[in-house]
């Protein structure tokens, strides 16, 4: 059996059982789970103070944590082979976008009551042609469904769909060097808010943040200044999003901070639900938007910050009370998207998850697309929770339209009414296994379960976006304003 002292010398890269502590319904649950040690700290302060940064196999990186030696079963440790590079910065590439078939021109709704059928032509299931490099990194539909099933088992989620979605297309380049200039160049070409996979691999550097009355455990690395990474927690002003290293500093800041809502135009207000949306131009409010990106990076794995926020518009959802407008979540979108994406990055803050705000963010993004008279889709690949949230929204929206509709309707007409792309509609129908082959044609069967699911959602009487309360005109930008560094 290896001694603790010898174990420290070869700990990085070792795989062994680790006691994982979870809080389930207010009770502490302990069990042993296999994990890999990525880093260690305080190794020179003695065995009682040394801590190991572990990644649990089969779990998302947001569950990575620092654990003491007493929670490791070093007797069953499997050490990395000699010569294997032991590094905490292990690259983890992002998954490619899912293959989604193009929407067909004709589909018809027949019948009513407990079941209905929508005819779908055979050509509707033929995938669009994709570039060769896109096809090579695109998972199959079965792989995507298997991953979704795994995520559903891992995350005990309700039907409200809380969005935690990283920026979409992370670069597959594994170059260890990166810079702001490279990020800007990639941004010009792709428009994505995620490019650098080297950034993804970093260890979580901030343990906790304090926002308002909430103390929140973080999930991922965020490039806050180095002096903040040695603190047990940092304080963030929930109005201006400035960050402080001590409560005293935070209290001094609060006496001087006059901001009580996001520094942008209020484009939506629901007095009954006390929900508002603010539109912020990244060029006009650089500091606020950069602070927002730093904050969101704590909860998004695939997001980098080595470029300016100028190419993006930010839509902040807030809840209003007597003290001001508190940020619930946000999404960003490109000022000009060549791929017609209506969301680049989207997040519901953890302290407000499982309250239905994720669905509101998604619905609001599609309401903007309706005003623009465009169809839109989020940048892909989505995160695990983002995939579940969007599929839930797409399924609810499509079922609602088909449940209420009588007569014939095409996939294109359904897309025009919802602003959901034909690809996403067809992908949702396939994911729900609603498309069947019947009497020589493809039809979509709404089963009793689909009807009951829709009626159950309607009975919940959830808060929804009211288009009549949206006061917004799509902003227009000149070519000079769209240039970087303008």
**Positions marked active-site:** 379
d(CA 130, CA 348): 32
Please give the angle made by the CA atoms of 58, 61 and 65, to the nearest 5 degrees: 105
Task: State the number of CA atoms in the 13 A half-sphere of 53 facing the CB.
Answer: 20
Residues with Cβ within 8 Å of residue 310, at least 6 apart in sequence: 282, 283, 286, 484, 485, 486
Structure token pair of residue 242: 């400035």
Structure-block tokens of residue 468: 């009549």
CA distance 275 to 355: 13
Backbone CA torsion sign across 288, 204, 228, 357? positive
Query: Tokens for 366?
Result: 């599609």
Residue pair 300/383 in contact (Cβ under 8 Å)? The answer is yes
């Amino acid at each position: 059996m290896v001694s603790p002292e010898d174990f420290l010398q070869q700990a990085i890269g070792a795989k062994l059982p680790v006691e994982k502590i979870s809080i389930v319904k207010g009770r502490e649950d302990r069990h042993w789970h296999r994990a890999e040690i990525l880093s260690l700290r305080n190794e020179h302060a003695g065995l009682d103070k040394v801590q190991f940064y572990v990644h649990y196999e089969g779990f998302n990186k947001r569950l990575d944590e620092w654990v003491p030696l007493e929670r490791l079963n070093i007797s069953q440790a499997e050490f990395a082979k000699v010569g294997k590079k032991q590094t905490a910065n292990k690259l983890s590439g992002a998954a490619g976008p899912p293959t989604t078939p193009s929407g067909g021109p004709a589909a018809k709704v027949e019948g009513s009551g407990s079941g209905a059928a929508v005819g779908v032509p055979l050509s509707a299931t033929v995938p669009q042609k994709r570039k060769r490099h896109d096809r090579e990194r695109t998972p199959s539909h079965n792989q995507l469904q298997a991953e979704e099933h795994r995520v559903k088992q891992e995350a005990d989620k309700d039907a409200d769909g809380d969005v935690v979605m990283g920026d979409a297309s992370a670069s597959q380049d594994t170059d260890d060097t990166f810079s702001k200039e490279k990020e800007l160049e990639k941004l010009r070409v792709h428009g994505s808010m995620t490019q650098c996979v080297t950034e993804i691999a970093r260890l979580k550097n901030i343990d906790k943040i304090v926002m308002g009355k909430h103390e929140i455990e973080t999930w991922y690395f965020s490039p806050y200044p180095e002096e903040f990474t040695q603190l047990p927690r940092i304080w963030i002003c929930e109005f201006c999003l400035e960050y402080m290293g001590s409560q005293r500093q935070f209290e001094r800041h609060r006496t001087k901070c006059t901001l009580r809502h996001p520094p942008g135009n209020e484009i939506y207000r629901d007095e009954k639900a006390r929900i508002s949306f603010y539109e912020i131009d990244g060029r006009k409010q650089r500091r606020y938007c950069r602070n927002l990106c730093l904050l969101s990076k704590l909860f998004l794995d695939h997001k980098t910050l080595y470029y300016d926020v100028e190419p993006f518009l930010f839509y902040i959802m807030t809840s209003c009370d007597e003290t001001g407008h508190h940020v619930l979540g946000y999404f960003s979108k490109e000022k000009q998207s060549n791929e017609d994406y209506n969301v680049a990055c989207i997040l519901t803050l953890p302290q407000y998850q499982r309250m239905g705000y994720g669905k509101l963010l998604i619905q609001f993004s599609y309401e903007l697309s309706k005003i623009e008279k465009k169809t839109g889709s989020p940048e892909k690949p989505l995160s695990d929770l983002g995939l579940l949230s969007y599929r839930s929204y797409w399924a609810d929206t499509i079922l609602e339209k088909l449940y209420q509709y009588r007569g014939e309707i095409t996939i294109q007409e359904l897309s025009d009414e919802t602003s959901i792309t034909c690809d996403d509609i067809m992908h949702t129908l396939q994911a729900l296994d609603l498309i069947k082959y019947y009497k020589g044609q493809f039809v979509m069967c709404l089963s009793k379960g689909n009807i009951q699911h829709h009626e159950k959602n309607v009975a919940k009487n959830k808060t929804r976006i009211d288009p009549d309360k949206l006061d917004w005109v799509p902003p227009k930008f000149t070519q000079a304003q769209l240039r970087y560094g303008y």
